[in-house]
């Protein structure tokens, strides 16, 4: 029951969607540039920007209590830690 | 007469009034009874293993049978007893009562969790009698053996997958409940410490169990489709399975021990008749254990061929986990100082817990030291260590909590004298059973073999005799408890004079827990 | 408003609680796929070149098209919730149906994509695939398992959204009681997010 949430107009939603489509186009375009190692990083960075847009607007995180965003860090930090620690093995084996 | 939740008549009758009930108290008791059934099965398997090991060479079973027996003993005890043990059974019963709520946040999901639990358990047991015979991989399901063996591993894995799902949903329910359903005035730092431990456990269940889920699915997919993730012949890396498995299974030991620590933190103030020493330190150390618990899984893989760098890192991180555990032990002991200690059965089990868990924890540091671990890895030293933490720790705390909350759950009291005798036999039997394993392991006796060299026989005989003592104590305790459900002496609502909210309502509690939701004005352990 | 709050209390309707529960569930989904991403990261590190050549076999066009389809379905999902908030039942039904339609189109594309690969003998444990390098075997393994698990989630999403559609038609989801639809939306957006990462990781390796 959040009144702020109701203020997102259809136009704003369509704007976010357009941004997501454009970003998809950019990902495909960047991949064609053959940037080597950098291309993985840009691809993941763009994906993360897209995800943030979806989270904040489509999933209304921007309008929820701060608790939701704080909680969201739990799985992200956990996953990052798990991957990081596993790679201490993978890189140095 | 006021109706309690046993006499309350809901939509269903007979057995359906239990297995379709969304009342957290009934679901808690469903878990309790199903869990104890599985526990007895697991204990029987344990006894058989000890009997096999009474003398070198084949005694009562073949090597293949022994492999199946230790696998099932592990699967049953871990996934069907200790993991759901305190949170799903006692946590379900006590969580809403202790925070002053009428039920958990999602009662129907709670019932669904139990159904996943019982289905998963039955499927895991079915794998014994169907397909290519009982699984023989050990409870860790290590690849590549688990993808090659002809035994019925896939079905067992699917059962465990459902058990994981059940555990995850319970965690989800508890975390939401503690966030949303606390009674007015029940601030975070007025929560009983058992609630803090359930909260921390809930998060571990949520964030670790899915990794187990995907890992088990991958092994099942591997067995059916030969994808190659864990098959060295196709480029797969078996070590990666070990990583994934322990990414869940190490945090899982904190799923097992944290609620035990929480229960102990309830019992100590009640029986020392004074407030707990260092409330916040205990609360935060629960969160710290949950957090650091994620960083140490590699210590299960020191001899598996990991990189040197990661072995050093994991060994170092392992030592960190001792700090919050130590904080708790010191706080419990300090809480006893100048208390008026009553040595009723719950307190005896609690003191047993502190003693045995300390041994288990300190030998954990021995295991965690990289250089020593290379020597004792895969020996009976490890078996002794984790039985001291999981049985001496979790199960002792579970028995303590069971005695403590028995009058709450049933409104009757067990026979105190009998309970103390049972405690004494269990304590003696436990140490006779597991302590020799430290020595045997240190001397080099490997685990998971049905046979051993003749020089290890003395220790094994002592250990097997210990298993008989332990089981007689357990049976005596269970007899006392089961008998007292119907025949125990009726005691009042709060026989211990404890201060937390669950004792403010009648025993057994009414269907809605509280006639009126209480308003909380003080911390949990204020004794006059 | 106070009146409303009072009735909500009576039937235990805690929207924030329901949403916390849903988000916690999504966290478990993140970790579930997270395990797969870890497997992916490890094998890609070990087999850079093989992953590159194997990924070149996948059609970027189909992948990109499916990405846009899912993104659009996320838009219609968000619009369906916005519509029910302002009591526009018909609009919400239309947007929900569109979401389901896009989901089905996604799966149809996926079906043809898998079908073509299987037609070329590229599926787990196929003689064709086993003759290739380890990296290629692992890449296709990951391709099938990751997109397969994702497709399973799309399928579950379709079932979920159909249920919501029926509930909306029957006025069980209204502008005062729409948390079910909102939670289904959260689930649907997460399925979209997973794909946002899968697309570059599987189709765009250079």
Q: Is residue A84 helix, strand or coil?
A: helix
List the subunits that have 3+ CB pairs under 8 angstroms with C.
A, B
Cα B438 to chain centroid, rounded? 22
Distance from CA of A82 to the nearest CA of C (A): 8
pLDDT for position A32: 85
pLDDT for position A4: 52
How far is Cα C130 from Cα C140, in angstroms, rounded to an integer?
A: 11
Q: What is the pLDDT of residues B42-63, one digit of tens each?
A: 999 999 999 999 999 999 999 9
- Chain A contact set for C204 (CB, 8 A): 27-28, 31, 39, 43
Q: What is the mean pLDDT of chain B?
A: 94
Q: Given CB atoms, is B46 within the 8 Å cutoff of chain C?
A: no
pLDDT for position B334: 96
Nearest to B145, CA basis, from B75, B223, B212, B30: B223
Q: How confident is the model at residue B429 (pLDDT cuts 50, 70, 90)?
A: very high
Q: What is the mean pLDDT of residues C117-126?
A: 92
pLDDT for position B13: 84
Q: What is the pLDDT of residues B143-193, one digit of tens each?
A: 999 999 989 999 999 999 999 999 999 999 999 999 999 999 999 999 999
pLDDT for position B2: 59
The partner residue sitting opposite A24, judged by closest CB among C27, C64, C75, is C64
The partner residue sitting opposite A47, judged by closest CB among C34, C46, C197, is C197
Contacts (Cβ under 8 Å, ≥6 apart) of A80:
none
On the question of a cis peptide bond just before residue B508, with omega within 30 degrees of 0, the verdict is yes
The residues facing C174 across adjacent strands are C177
Pick from B114-118, B134-138, B327-331: least confident = B134-138
- Chain A contact set for B203 (CB, 8 A): 74
Nearest residue in B to C131, CA atom: B234
How far is Cα A86 from Cα A83, in angstroms, rounded to an integer?
A: 5
pLDDT for position B419: 97
The partner residue sitting opposite A68, judged by closest CB among C23, C67, C82, is C23
Cβ distance B241 to B217 under 8 Å? no
For residue C5, pLDDT beyond 90: no
C-beta atoms of C145 and B172 within 8 A: no
How far is Cα B238 from Cα B98, in angstroms, rounded to an integer?
A: 45
CATH of the domain spanning B21-504: 1.20.210.10
Q: How confident is the model at residue B8 (pLDDT cuts 50, 70, 90)?
A: confident
Distance from CA of C115 to the nearest CA of A (A): 24
C-beta atoms of B294 and A82 within 8 A: yes
Q: Given CB atoms, is A80 within the 8 Å cutoff of chain C?
A: no
How far is Cα C188 from Cα C174, in angstroms, rounded to an integer?
A: 19
Q: What is the pLDDT of residues C93-116, one digit of tens each?
A: 999 999 999 999 999 999 999 999
C-beta atoms of B173 and C25 within 8 A: no
Q: What is the mean pLDDT of residues B136-145?
A: 92
pLDDT for position B99: 96
Q: What is the mean pLDDT of residues B474-490?
A: 96
Q: What is the mean pLDDT of residues C141-146?
A: 96
List, as one string, the DSSP characters of B230-271. T-GGGT--HHHHHHHHHHHHHHHHHHHHHHHHHHHHHHHHHH
Q: What is the mean pLDDT of residues A80-91?
A: 94
Cβ distance B34 to B121 under 8 Å? yes
Task: Give the CA diameter of chain B.
Answer: 71
The partner residue sitting opposite A82, judged by closest CB among B247, B307, B308, is B247
Residues of chain B with pLDDT > 90: what percent? 92
Q: What is the pLDDT of residues B386-410, one digit of tens each?
A: 999 999 999 999 999 999 999 999 9
ipTM for the predicted complex? 0.94
Helix H or strand E encompassing B490: strand B489-490
Q: What is the pLDDT of residues B345-368, one digit of tens each?
A: 999 999 999 999 999 999 999 999
How far is Cα B296 from Cα B310, in angstroms, rounded to an integer?
A: 10
For residue B73, pLDDT beyond 90: yes
How far is Cα B8 from Cα A90, in angstroms, rounded to an integer?
A: 58
- Chain A contact set for B215 (CB, 8 A): none
Q: Give residues 73 to 132 of C whose Cβ lies within 8 Å of A.
A: 74-75, 77-79, 82, 85-86
The partner residue sitting opposite B206, judged by closest CB among C27, C42, C133, is C27
For residue B340, pLDDT beyond 90: yes
Q: Give B439: exposed, middle or buried? Use CB within 10 Å, 0-12, 13-18, 19+.
A: middle
Domain boundaries in chain A?
4-92
Q: In chain C, what are the domains?
A: 14-203 (1.20.120.80)
Q: What is the pLDDT of residues B246-300, one digit of tens each?
A: 999 999 999 999 999 999 999 999 999 999 999 999 999 999 999 999 899 999 9
* Selected residue with higher pLDDT from C10 and C140: C140
The pair phi, psi for residue B212, each rounded to 5°, is -60, -45
Q: What is the mean pLDDT of residues B506-527?
A: 92
* Selected residue with higher pLDDT from C91 and C7: C91
Cβ distance B229 to C138 under 8 Å? yes
- Chain C contact set for A27 (CB, 8 A): 199-200, 204
Q: What is the pLDDT of residues A70-83, one digit of tens each?
A: 999 999 999 999 99
pLDDT for position B417: 96
For residue B95, pLDDT beyond 50: yes
């Amino acid at each position: 029951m959040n009144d702020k949430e109701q203020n997102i107009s259809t136009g704003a939603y369509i704007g976010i969607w357009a941004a997501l489509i454009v970003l998809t186009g950019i990902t495909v375009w960047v991949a064609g540039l053959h940037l080597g190692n950098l291309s993985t990083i840009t691809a993941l960075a763009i994906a993360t920007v897209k995800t943030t847009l979806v989270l904040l607007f489509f999933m209304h995180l921007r309008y929820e209590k701060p608790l939701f965003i704080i909680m969201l860090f739990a799985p992200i930090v956990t996953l990052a830690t798990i991957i990081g620690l596993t790679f201490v093995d993978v890189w140095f084996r | 007469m006021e109706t309690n939740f046993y006499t309350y008549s809901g939509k269903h009758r007979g057995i359906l009034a239990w297995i379709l009930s969304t009342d957290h108290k009934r679901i808690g008791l469903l878990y309790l009874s199903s869990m104890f059934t599985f526990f007895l099965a697991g204990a029987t398997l344990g006894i058989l293993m000890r009997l096999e090991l009474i003398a070198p060479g084949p005694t009562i079973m073949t090597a293949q049978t022994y492999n199946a027996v230790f696998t099932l003993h592990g699967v049953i005890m871990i996934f069907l007893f200790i993991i759901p043990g305190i949170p799903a059974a006692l946590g379900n019963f006590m969580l809403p009562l202790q925070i002053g709520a009428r039920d958990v946040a999602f009662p129907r999901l709670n019932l669904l969790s139990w159904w996943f639990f019982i289905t998963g358990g039955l499927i895991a047991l079915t794998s014994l009698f169907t397909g290519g015979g009982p699984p023989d991989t050990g409870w860790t399901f290590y690849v590549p053996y688990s993808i090659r063996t002809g035994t019925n591993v896939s079905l067992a894995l699917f059962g465990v997958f459902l058990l994981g799902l059940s555990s995850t949903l319970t965690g989800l329910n508890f975390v939401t409940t503690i966030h949303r359903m606390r009674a007015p005035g029940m601030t975070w730092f007025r929560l009983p410490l058992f609630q803090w431990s359930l909260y921390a456990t809930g998060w571990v269940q949520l964030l670790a169990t899915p990794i187990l889920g995907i890992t088990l699915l991958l092994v099942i997919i591997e067995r059916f489709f030969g994808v190659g993730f864990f098959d060295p012949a196709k480029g797969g890396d078996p070590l990666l399975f070990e990583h994934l498995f322990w990414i869940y299974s190490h945090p899982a030991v904190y799923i097992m021990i944290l609620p035990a620590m929480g229960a102990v933190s309830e019992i100590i103030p009640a029986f020392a008749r004074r407030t707990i020493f260092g409330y916040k330190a205990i609360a935060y150390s629960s969160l710290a254990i949950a957090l650091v618990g994620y960083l140490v899984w590699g210590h299960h893989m020191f001899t598996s061929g990991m990189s040197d760098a990661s072995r050093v890192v994991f060994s170092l991180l392992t030592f960190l986990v001792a700090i919050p555990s130590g904080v708790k032990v010191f706080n419990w002991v300090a809480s006893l100082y100048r208390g008026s200690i009553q040595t009723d059965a719950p307190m005896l089990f609690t003191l047993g817990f502190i003693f045995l868990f300390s041994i288990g924890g300190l030998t954990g540091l021995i295991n965690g030291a990289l250089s020593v671990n290379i020597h004792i890895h895969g020996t009976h030293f490890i078996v002794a260590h984790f039985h001291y933490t999981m049985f001496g720790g979790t199960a002792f705390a579970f028995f303590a909590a069971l005695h403590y909350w028995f009058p709450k759950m049933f409104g009757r009291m067990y026979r105190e004298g009998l309970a103390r005798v049972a405690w004494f036999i269990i304590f003696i039997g436990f140490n006779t059973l597991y302590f020799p394993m430290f020595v045997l392991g240190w001397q080099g006796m490997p685990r998971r073999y049905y046979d051993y060299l003749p020089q290890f026989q003395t220790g094994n005989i002592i250990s097997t005799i210990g298993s008989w003592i332990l089981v007689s104590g357990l049976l005596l305790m269970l007899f006392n408890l089961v008998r007292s459900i119907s025949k125990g002496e009726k005691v009042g609502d709060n026989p211990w004079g404890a201060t937390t909210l669950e004792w403010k309502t009648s025993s057994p509690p009414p269907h809605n827990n509280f006639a009126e939701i209480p308003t909380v004005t003080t911390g949990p352990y204020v004794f006059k | 408003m106070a009146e409303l709050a009072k009735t909500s209390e009576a039937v235990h309707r805690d929207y924030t609680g329901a949403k916390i529960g849903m988000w916690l569930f999504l966290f478990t989904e993140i970790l579930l796929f997270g395990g797969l991403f870890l497997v992916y990261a490890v094998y890609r590190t070990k087999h850079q070149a093989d992953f590159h050549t194997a990924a070149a076999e996948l059609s970027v066009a189909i992948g990109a098209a499916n990405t846009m389809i899912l993104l659009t379905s996320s838009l219609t999902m968000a619009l369906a919730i916005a519509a029910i908030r302002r009591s526009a039942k018909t609009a919400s039904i239309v947007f929900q149906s569109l979401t389901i339609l896009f989901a089905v189109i996604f799966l149809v594309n996926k079906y043809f994509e898998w079908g073509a690969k299987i037609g070329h003998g590229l599926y787990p444990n196929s003689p064709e695939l086993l003759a290739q390098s380890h990296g290629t075997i692992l890449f296709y393994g990951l391709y099938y398992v990751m997109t397969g698990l994702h497709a399973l989630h799309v399928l579950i999403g379709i079932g979920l959204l159909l249920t919501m559609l029926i509930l909306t038609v029957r006025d069980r989801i209204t502008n005062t009681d729409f948390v079910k639809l909102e939670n289904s939306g959260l689930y649907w957006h997460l399925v979209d997010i997973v794909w946002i990462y899968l697309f570059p990781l599987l189709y765009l390796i250079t």
